[in-house]
Every structure is written in C-alpha cells, then in structure tokens.
Structure 1
Amino acid sequence: MESHTKIIFNPCENKENQYIAVLVNGLEKHGFEVSRLDDFLSSKKHYQSIKLLHLNWFENLDDSSSSSMWKSYFRKLVVLAAIKFGKKKLVWTMHNRLSHEKKSGKLSRTLTEKIVAQADAIVIHSEVSRGILRSQYPNLKSKIIHIPHPDFADVYGATLPECAVDRTIQLKLLFLGAIKPYKNIELLIEVAMKFPDSVHLTIAGNPNSEAYRSELQKLAQNIPNISLELKFIPDAVLPSYIHQSDLLILPYSLESSLNSGTVILGFSYGRTVICPRIGTIDDLDGGEDVFDYNYSSESEHLAALEKQLQKAITLHQDNPKTLIEKGHRMRDLVLKKNSKQDATDSLIKLYESLLN
C-alpha cells in the first residue's frame, strides 16, 4: 500500500474524549494522511484522493430542533451517496446499542441501517456487539472486526502515587463524564441520599443543557454528601479527580449503552467501578474486582445499584485499601487486554486488508 494513503477519520478530533487522538495519532505515525469529513467534498481533487472513510457516531443527529435534525440527516445521506459513488471503502464503529438522543431515535435507526448496509467493515469494541448486529441485520454482509477500546494509561497525564489511607473517612464515589439523561444521574443522587454518613459522591462533568443543569442542582440541593461540579473538566486534572476517589460509579442505561470510555479511563488510572454489565465490563471479565450488575426495570436498577454500593461500603470499612487494590488489578488487566498499541495495529491491519 502506498505511503501517505489519504483517509478520513470522523471525527478526527474531540476535545472531550482522547479516544480519537489515541487512534488518529497512531494512524498518522504509520503514515496515513488523516483528513476531516467536512473537507471530503471541498474539491474534486481532494474527493478523488480519499481512499477510505472511518465513521464514528455518524448515526447521531443534531436534535436541537426539528429542522436541524432533518438537515443533519440529509447531509449525512449525501456523504453516504458520495462514498458509494466514488467507490470509497467505508468503515463504521458501533459504539452504542441505540442512539442516546430520544428525539431523533427513529431517524437515527434509519441512518444506521443505511450505514450498516453500505459498510465494508464494522468495528466493534465488545464481543456482545457481534450478536446484536447479527440479530438486527440478519443479511449483514460487512466484515465485523472486534478491536478492544484502547486504554487511556498516561494519556491524560501520569498516574498519581497512592497516599496512606485514612480509615475514618467516607467512601469517596466519583461520577465522571458528560452529564446526559441516559446516564441516570438522578438515580445516582437518589442512591447517595440513602447513605448520608458512609458515602460522599462527586458528580463532575458538563451537562448537555442549562435546563438539565438546573434540574440536577435542585435535586442535590442541601444534600451534604453530594458535590456537584457541573462544568467541563480539563484533561490535565482528570487523573487528580480519579485519584481522589475510591471508585467510580456509572449507572448507565443498559437499553442504549454498550461500551464506555469512562470505564476504561477509570481502570487505566487504577480505580474500579460500580457499573451495569455493559459490553466493556463483559469483555474484561474482572470478576470480583468489578462491582457490576444487571437489571430489567428502573426499580430493579435502583435496588441493584444500592446492593453493589453497600458491598463496596462494607469492604471499604473493613479495609480501605481493598478497593484501591481492586482498581490496580483492573489497570493491569486493561493494559493487557486493551493495549492502545494493539488497537492501533489492528485498525491499520484492517485498513490495509480493505485497500490492497
């Protein structure tokens, strides 16, 4: 394959997620010339030079208004048509079971069907995705390739050294990431209120709207064991936030969530998690080192989350080092199973197999 093969990796940058940077940097080091999707149709020469497009979250639509949603949908149909017309290779990464955006769900599913029908290869980050794809698309012709989500070890800065553990302090829980309704923050507030003396919860991240910010502030008002830091958390301070916690608590929706970069981030920096058994947790199979659970209704979710939290509190009270030790074992497991170098190498191998 010629050096400096021109491809599009979309998005090619994301200020809120270093996942993109890890992969794009690896591709560029190998000699791929990575361009933005916005420039795909900027000129005939550029369009003709692009050999392959890799789309991430392409099925998500702008649902800020009905007109924006339809505009977003038709623009993406044009891109897919241009890819097909130019006989470009198309790779799509399946990140979620469904789009997290409720308003555009139906249109997003239609777009996903078109992407799946046209894709030369579909990248999955968890093995359960293969079964989901096969059941949803029985006539699937695309090549499915399982590439584990790359680790984030040292990507956001060095892992901080552990300090002596104080037995008297509360269990320090951390929710980290973009604050969106499907992440069940309300449920998190409800469960933290049940343990006023034994738990302190910090919710850190930027809400997706001012209305949602206000709603959460009202819910957590005058609750002393909950700290809201509803703002964008810069990359440089993420290791500190993780280091100051005993474990992360991430009560995602099993209906739409499949993979989680935040779970990988927590493990990469030596902290374990309380989290539903999504694909990321399933693949790693950390056993007793992860507080995972399943549920089939909202009431079941609260009960299962509460049960895992109580288990973590008991372990913490018996020996505060236990949770940190679990986190360090999960870091070792992630470095082995989710090596960022292996992820990049697998992607390069896939591209080369499609282009040769």
Structure 2
Amino acid sequence: MTLTTSGETAVSAPLLYEASRRAIAQAAEDLWPGRGAVLGPQRPGVTSYVCQVLVDGKELYAKYSWLSSSLVSILRGARGAWADVQEAQEPYVRSVDLVTRRELQHLEFLQQIGRPRVCDTAGFRGGVLFTRAVAGSTIAEELAVRPWDTAPLLDSVLLSLRELHGEQGARYLRQAWPINERSVVDVFSRKFRGPAAVRYIAGLGRGRLVGDERQVVVDLLGNAVRRLLRLTSAIRPRQRTAVFGDLKPEHVYLSGHRLTFIDPALQWAAGPEPDLAKLFGRALLLGFCHHELRAERQITEGVVSVLSRHSQSVSLGDRTDRAARLREVMVLWLMDTVNILSTCLSAPADLPLTSNQLALVAEAHRIAAVAERVSGLLVGSASGLSLLDAVFHEVEHSALDLR
C-alpha cells in the first residue's frame, strides 16, 4: 500500500468524519431512543474521532476509533484505501479487542478502586464510548497560567497514581486487555522501524513547514531517531507495573483540590517510568510553546525538581538501578517527543489539530534540535544526575539559542 505525505490524503477526510458521525448518531439513538441527541462539532485531535453530544441537555463526549489506528494513519493510507478501511472496520467494531471497549473496561476498573478518580462512563454501543463531561481545567491549562506551581501540580498527579502503580493495578491487568497501541515504545517502533520509515521521515512537514526549515527539521529528527533505535535496550521488559499509559497534562482535570483523569490506556511496564516520561515530557513541550521565557524556565525547573526527587527516592542504596531508571525515563521522554512531533508534522491539512499541537508545529525546529542534542547525550557515557544536568542544560541552551 502507498502512504501519503502530510500534504496529501489517501482516504477522504470528509468521508471518514461523516462515517464517524453516523456511527456516533446511531449509537446515541440506540442508547437513548427518541431523546434527540445533538452532536457537536469534531474535537481537534490526531487519535480518535471525538465530539460533544448533548442528551437531554447533559454534556457527554463520544469517542470512535478506527482499526486501533490514529486518524492521521487512516487518512495517510496506513490501513489501505477507504473501501479497505470500511470493510475491516465492521468486524473490528464487534471484536473483543476494540480499543474503545478496552478503555471502557479500564475506566470501570479505576472507578472501582477509586484512585485515580476518572470520568464517569455514560454508555457504550457500536464501538462508540460515551463519557460524561468533567468539570474544571486541565493540568495543561493550569501550567500555562501558573507555571510557578509546576512541581506541586505534577506531584499531585503522581500521588493519585500510587494505587494503580501498586499491586491493585497489577492484579487487574493480569486478567485484562492492555492498550499497547498507546505505548510510547510501540508507537515509536511502528513509526520508525521497517522499510517505510525512511520515506515517512523524509516527508515530515510537507504542507506545514516551508523551505529550508522543513529539511533542517527532517535531518534533526532523522539523527534523533537513529540514536533512539539504538537505545531501546534501556527500556526494561514490561512485566511488573500497571501504568496509566497516556498520562498527558491534557488528560487530567483539576476542580478545587480534586483531580479527575480521562482517556486511560493501561499497559504493562517494569515500573512507573512510562507515566513519568509522558507527564514530564509533555509538560516540557508546553513550556517550549509558552509565549513567555520566564514561564518556560519555571516549568522546566518544576519538572527537573520532581524528576530529581523521584529519582533519589527509588532504589535506595542501589545507585546503578537508580541511574538506569532515570535513563529509561529520559529515553521514553525523547521517544514520546519525537512521536507526537512527527504525528503533528505528518497530519493532513484537513485534520484539525489542538492549539497545543499547532504550537508544536510552530516550534518544530527547536523541538527537533533538542531531540537531536539530547539523543547524542543519551548514547554517551554520562549517567545519573550528571546526565540529568547535561540534558537540561541543553534544554535551557535551546531556549536562548532558538527561541
């Protein structure tokens, strides 16, 4: 099959969106017949089709997934032409490993253990997951307006995950279906291993970046990817700890002193490192894209503080294991950064991106430069806190050099 570049689509976006809305409307009618469910516009994003649904004046959100693939991948032709996608989608929606069905199960489990608190489910039908709207602002929004509180905000998120990271989470996941499609390592491998990877990297940014800047970004990301492929051995086998899996600041809401999580993707890991990497890495990206240099520095300092403290608190007395865990966090952070940046750069022009994702595209040169520089440090001999210091020196240097 032929994959298109970001400026083109192999699958018609209007056809994909219209089919998604038909599935959601039918599911809403089946669940709440005659209640006149009203569908709102598509929510920006690259993974699943999501829209608001009003039922009797109550605000719900509907999520519909296509073949466990991102909307970007479907539109670029990763699952074939539109006829192929439609044919495969029908049995997929009925399958037991449907990703929205697994997410429903994860939400129900987390509701049982009570922590982290998660959004309420409202219904499931025809592959469509309905959840209730969550009050408050996201941690991403909080970081933007009070970056000086980065450390306590991140600490509060991690504190809410202690039960999940403990025996209760592991006991559940032993008899459940994980959502490995959202694993940082799995996403990175799908993107950058195999014969199509070179062409994929070469096409990044077409339609979103122009001229020499696009080629600079492609070259920087290519260097980072080649090094990260050599660093996969730093990721310990996933076998002991259940992690939230998609722990982005946008997926945690704060209302008063109460946190509520959305979009779980529970999966196995050797420890909590994948959750740390995604939470810290996405917070750093929010800092990169903040319009104030002072705010970026405050976010960066908050991340460094929490990461250093966490690193010192694990594997007490075993400096080698502590250093290995810290390196794993940084490798996963860099992989996730390359994953989301490449996804945004390869997104077709008619796929709506969130404001944060558009900001990543605008800062693509700087983010790619940081990824390239830090990947060079990670393949070097530095370890432990000296590696941490070197990595964040590069982050700070890029703020002065490329901002």
TM-score by length of 1: 0.29
Q: By percentage of residues, which structure has more helix?
A: 2
Name the TM-score, length of structure 2 as normaliser: 0.27
The higher-RCO structure (CA 8 Å, 6+ apart) is 2
